[in-house]
Chain A
């Protein structure tokens, strides 16, 4: 166990250095902009991973918390109520409160019923965002969001957003991976296995469910705020069913059991999507947009059947093979 944690730490450090040093080598604006999206969606899929993979809560409302964060921080800034950075934080707090109020009754539901109820939240939020024209700007979206500025420093270039979003993403990753290897993390995993047994050792299951739910929605909301200031506008379509599909794809392809899967899945899915949109469209010119959606729909099915542990499962298997090849023992599992 100690060995594994150590290796994860090493891997995390290596990955962090790679991310921080990357822009020094790669100057392409295109790559940087995709990487920003990866960091933003990465926070969302870390949240989904904790909810579905660790706690076993099939909560699908994640796009809504992301969207609420973006809208609330956008609206607060556009109406000059708070400076941008404060409105991101205020949006985080508001969304946490909303998630608490909604989560307290809804988390009594289990499995499929929870999935249905949280899916309803997405639809309600979508309709509200396009109908409340005075507040949200309706289907055309919320425009006129000013640049993000913190104490006089203005975030203008993609490179600045790259560092902002990746630092937040890596911080969330570190926080969550600490969390799941702690006493609370074991409690969360335990009620995934057996709720009645968790109760029998003194774990307050409803309270832990609610804490995880609120934590992940606050994370999604804050990254939604960053997303809003990065694009400088917010439209309802960014937070709907398609985003949910992509998030599910990321967490499932990466591997639901392991938090590393969230980041690996996000990186693979977004780059695959870019590849499909850029190159395959040249090969099949008759296909218009939506090519990637078809592809990802099929991919979800294939991954679930043939690699239920996702890419992380493959990575671990490869490493085990490697270690066997060179007669290195990996210590305790």
Chain B
């Protein structure tokens, strides 16, 4: 555990994530239109905007689920814009999904173990012949997965099928799975969507506890009070363009943001 902390803190020192002029079209519609921003010191950066503004597309582009038409994404001085998703994960960029995308045929523990996939490197032969190295690795992955489940408070459900979990716990399991990859930048796609008020409070505590390990978070969210209370910086998208970027207090009073998304308070 100490080792992990040391790693992560060492990682914070030279953390730099920069998006330059990123664009993506879907059959003529500019879903993401020349977006640029840079994350260096902020721990939680949020992306908000009306439906269809391109928030999820942005996460898909940054995580490698989609490739951009043009633009660059720099992470640790490397342009990762055209890297496949699994390669970005090994560099430390990980994401969760709006609709969880859990592995429904597996148990909770197995989902967490798939998250720890990168903790092992045994190949097809050592798996098939069940070599000692593979058995050791398997035990290590299992203990790591259990550790992550405990961190989030899901260890009692470890042997349940994913399909039996309520929505809130499925969202949490999505985070557990992502934590298994030991990310440096975690992108959460609408983590509080569909959650009850007390679950949102719990989620906020969870995020704050993760930050202690030096993790950076890019949050896409519709719950404005939640976003305002947790982020150091907010980026507002509308029709694929960035219309505002700054501290919560500044963004809240930006007239364009009010018109596009937040709405007039005296409406």
Contacts and interface: CB of A to CB of B under 8 A. Distances in A.
> Do A and B come from the same complex?
yes
Interface of A: 1, 175-176, 178-179, 182-187, 189-190, 192-194, 196-205, 211, 215, 257, 332-333
Nearest to A207: B86
Given A201-B181, A202-B90, A202-B117, A333 B128 contact: no
A40 B78 CA distance: 51
A202 B104 contact: no
B113 A202 contact: no
B1 to A, nearest CB: 21
A184 B177 CA distance: 16
B177 A201 contact: yes
Q: Which of A178, A186, A190, A197 has the most CB of B within 10 A?
A: A197
B134 A182 contact: yes
Given A183-B117, A199-B65, A202-B86, 20 more contacts: A176-B128, A178-B128, A179-B124, A179-B127, A183-B113, A183-B122, A187-B114, A190-B103, A190-B106, A193-B104, A194-B103, A196-B65, A196-B97, A199-B64, A199-B85, A199-B86, A200-B63, A200-B85, A201-B118, A203-B114
18 contacts: A182-B138, A183-B113, A183-B122, A183-B137, A184-B123, A184-B124, A186-B110, A190-B106, A196-B97, A197-B101, A198-B114, A200-B94, A200-B95, A201-B117, A201-B177, A201-B178, A202-B86, A204-B84
Contacts of B64: 199
A164 B90 CA distance: 44
A203 B101 contact: no
Contacts of A193: 102-106
B129 interface: yes
Nearest to A193: B103
Contacts of A182: 122, 127-128, 130, 134, 138
- By Cβ-Cβ distance, the 8 closest A-B pairs, closest first, are A199-B85, A202-B89, A182-B127, A197-B101, A175-B128, A193-B103, A202-B118, A178-B130
A199 B118 CA distance: 11
Given A185-B127, A190-B114, A193-B106, A201 B159 contact: no
B113 A186 contact: yes
Contacts of A178: 127-130
Contacts of A179: 124, 127-128
B198 to A, nearest CB: 27
Contacts of A190: 103, 106, 114
A192 B65 CA distance: 17
B153 interface: no
Contacts of A189: 103, 105-106
Contacts of B127: 178-179, 182-185
B180 A201 contact: yes
A175 B128 CA distance: 4
B120 interface: yes
B240 interface: no
Contacts of A187: 114, 117
A220 to B, nearest CB: 16
B141 interface: yes
A183 B120 contact: yes
B94 A201 contact: yes
B54 interface: no
Contacts of B113: 183, 186
B214 interface: no
Contacts of B137: 183
A201 B65 contact: no
B68 interface: no
B115 interface: yes
Nearest to A332: B159
A55 to B, nearest CB: 12
Contact of A201 (B89, B105, B107, B120): B89
B101 A333 contact: no
B106 A184 contact: no
A201 B110 contact: no
A184 B122 contact: yes
Contact of A186 (B102, B106, B124): B106
Contacts of B180: 201
A333 to B, nearest CB: 6
Contacts of B138: 182-183
Contacts of B96: 200
B101 to A, nearest CB: 4
B65 A200 contact: yes
Contacts of A198: 86, 114
A185 B117 CA distance: 11
A49 to B, nearest CB: 15
Contacts of A257: 105
B67 to A, nearest CB: 12
Interface in B138-175: 138, 141, 159
Contacts of A192: 105
Interface string B58-83: 00000111000000000000000000
A245 B130 CA distance: 33
A1 B129 CA distance: 20
A203 B117 contact: yes
A201 B89 CA distance: 6
A332 B127 CA distance: 24
Contacts of A175: 128-129
